[in-house]
Amino acid sequence: MKKYLDRKNVTCKYLWVREKTTNAVNHHYHFMLLLDGHKIRKANNILSKCTELWNRALNLNPSINQSLVYYCRNKVDNSWELFLDRHDDLYDQKKDECIYWASYLAKVNTKDNTKYRNFGSSRVSCLKNNN
């Protein structure tokens, strides 16, 4: 996905975690994608590309396996994305929802304490505000 977005000149930051519930046979993953909203105004194309690339990575037929990627809907406007704009009247509510989504990845009860890597992220650079 990162290579695809790089080719589109879209900066991509991400977080992922590996989890396994007690009664599950296999692990599952949660993934949070952070994109430049000035370049990506709607997530629909990106989300369908995620499904396509995941099916390709697993060598599965995408027309049959549409449910491997589940998209979370936010509580603000029930969409699959959160566009943060400081000038938006709903900015604080959307920011809180974004933090809620990210905190879901940090829950510990489904993390597997094995030798395997259970989380990862891209490097996020902090910008110093000189104002």
pLDDT at 129 exceeding the cut of 70: no
Q: Is residue 131 part of a domain?
A: no
Q: Give the model's pLDDT for residue 87.
A: 92
What would the pLDDT profile of 3-56 be if each residue is shown by its tens digit? 888 888 888 888 888 888 888 888 888 888 888 888 886 777 888 888 888 888
Domain presence at residue 128: no
Residue 131 has pLDDT above 50, yes or no: no
Report pLDDT digits (tens) over 72-125: 888 888 887 888 889 999 999 999 988 888 888 887 777 766 677 888 888 866
Looking at the structure of the chain, the number of domains it has is 1
In a domain, 129, yes or no: no
Domain around 79: 2-121
The rounded distance, in Å, linking the Cα atoms of 12 and 36 is 7
